[in-house]
Amino acid sequence: MAGSTASSSERHARTLLGDARTVARVYLDYGGFSPVDPRILGVMRPFLESGIGNADGAHSYGAEARTALDSARAKVARLCGGAAEGVTFTSGATEANNLAIRGLVRSGERRHVVASAIEHISVINSCRDLEKRGHAVTWVPVDGSGRVIPEAVADAIRPSTALVSIQAANPEIGTIQPLREIGRVAGARGVPFHVDAVGAVGRSPLSAGECGFDLLTLSSNDLAGPPGVGALWVRPGAASLAPLLLGGAQERGLRAGTPNLPAIVGMGVAADLARTEWPREVERQRSLRDRLIAGVPATVPGAQLTGSVGRDRLPHHASFVVSGVKADSVLLDLDAAGIAASSGSACATVTGEASHVLRAIGCDPREQQGALCFTLGRWTAALDIDAVLEALPAIVERLRRLAPAP
């Protein structure tokens, strides 16, 4: 079988993963959840076991905690190319998106938001909540590959626009957005620009100076850090936010509650590892991804790639629509074969709703039923790609025989 011999780097990756998976299992749902890097767990452990104090404490334990908190803040800021004082730690990317959108709009008098039709559900529902409260939202369409057209963003901006919110890349179809152009459009009109960077940060060049964003959402787990923690970076002086949670003055009054210090420390380490290791890791994953993108349509009749191609696509992302089958059945059979994948966004899967992303790019409703998504990660090896390309054609053929397409 081609590519069946694991390289030394792949063997090292499997060793690093430790107990998070076994060689017999193939995990290709890093977009849904990433196993935490054991090196990060090692740094977190003392903060869970050694009685480190509350960062607000007026004692040496508190001072140690504040130092650790400030260090993590600086590491996250370096990853997004901004000032450390702009980082607010949250419970995850969903809260960060809510704080960016609802927190900004509620703090000012402008009552209009511009967002794309394929944003993450946390952005969409934040905007819908604003609509219920009398605000206006313009949903900018995308082209057939899921790309937001900068000129459409420019046309959507009004004098009353409080915020432009466009994701860095789509988690269902992998398309990377033209952030620099959109940032120039928003900046020229004096409108704050928010970017949901989950999936893209650490994999695609992103910096406050080059892309012109004013607010940036990050997720720890997407960087192989611990779940349950994220961050919102805000360019100092660019936007005023109203807190969503009322309580103490933690995180400069923007996020009340005792910080989850062990997880925040882990996110800081994850940000540092992403910044230093991803340039090399991106090329490795892109090579594996390209094998999958070429191999699935070649071996599965009726399988079509969704989203952009080449470097306009996330390097770890391969998504398809497969005619004549339902994704749930394919995923169950893949899982029985030891392969974990998804049908798109994990958050959308929970609701059972049809994909708004596939609708927006013009997929036929019958095609949408067969949406498959494979997301690679730090421990993905060539053997894993081989396993998919060997198992998937037979699974699809069997399911089509059982329930032939009308």
Q: pLDDT for 281-308, tens place per residue?
A: 999 999 999 999 999 999 999 999 999 9
| The two structure tokens encoding residue 257 | 């509650």
Q: Write down the catalytic residue from 80, 127, 347, 363.
A: 347
Q: In this predicted model, what pLDDT tens digit does every residue of 196-216 receive, in sequence order? A: 999 999 998 888 888 999 999
229 has a pLDDT exceeding 60? yes
Per-residue pLDDT band at 56 (split at 50, 70, 90): confident
Give the whole-angstrom CA distance, residue 195 versus residue 215. Answer: 6
365: buried, middle or exposed (CB in 10 Å: 19+, 13-18, 0-12)? exposed
125: buried, middle or exposed (CB in 10 Å: 19+, 13-18, 0-12)? middle
- 347 as an active site residue: the answer is yes
Structural domains of the chain in order of their starting residue, each with its CATH number: 8-36+278-402 (3.90.1150.10), 39-272 (3.40.640.10)
What pTM, to 2 d.p., does this model score?
0.91
33: buried, middle or exposed (CB in 10 Å: 19+, 13-18, 0-12)? middle
| The two structure tokens encoding residue 149 | 């057209």
Per-residue pLDDT band at 278 (split at 50, 70, 90): confident
Average the pLDDT over 227-246 and give the result: 94
C-alpha neighbours within 13 Å on the C-beta side of residue 226: 22
Give the whole-angstrom CA distance, residue 200 versus residue 314. Answer: 7
| Percent of the chain clearing pLDDT 90 (strictly above) | 80
Average the pLDDT over 335-351 and give the result: 77
Q: In this predicted model, what pLDDT tens digit does every residue of 94-138 receive, in sequence order? A: 999 999 999 999 999 999 999 999 999 999 999 999 999 999 999
Give the whole-angstrom CA distance, residue 298 versus residue 354. Answer: 27
| Percent of the chain clearing pLDDT 70 (strictly above) | 91
Q: In this predicted model, what pLDDT tens digit does every residue of 57-108 receive, in sequence order? A: 888 888 898 999 999 999 999 999 999 999 999 999 999 999 999 999 999 9
Give the whole-angstrom CA distance, residue 243 versus residue 102. Answer: 9
Contact predicate 267/76, CB 8 Å = yes
